[in-house]
Amino acid sequence: MAKATIAELEGGAALCAWFEGVPSFHDATLLQLELHQGAPSRLVARAFQITSEVDSRGHFVLTKHVDVTFTIFELIEVQLSDFTEAGIMFGLDTKIDPDGTTLSVKSSYGVHGRIKAKRVVVSFEPRPAGAS
């Protein structure tokens, strides 16, 4: 299995162009995880870009707020644990092999593990800063 970037997934290049780089999903909120047999599944994460700039309260300035949807087709394997109401992602890795694509979710809090499917499509919706 070869490690890949989100840019290699269908729709991923557009997300990386909008982000002006590959998003890390560090501290992203896992908003939704729907798994279905025989129908598309979805993983939705609210992500942002962390800058090196610090605001008046000493917090890093966050830009490029976005909801990213991974639409997952034809599940092959699911290994997930630690479900909670809202998970905080540490990061997201992508691997591609001849059988399909694996999304590996690392978490700081909440669900983590991996999902392998025949196909994964990325879409996104930019959000105003601070919008909930």
Per-residue pLDDT of 73-108, as tens digits, reads: 999 999 999 887 668 999 999 999 999 999 999 999
| pLDDT above 70: percentage of residues in the chain | 95
pLDDT(118) > 70? yes
Residue 83: C-alpha distances to residues 10, 13, 30, 113 (Å): 27, 30, 11, 10
Q: Is 48 in contact with 70 (CB distance < 8 Å)? A: no
Q: CB under 8 Å to 127, separation ≥6 — which residues? A: 46, 65, 66, 67
Residue 17's pLDDT band, with cuts at 50, 70 and 90, is very high
What is the pTM assigned to this prediction? 0.90
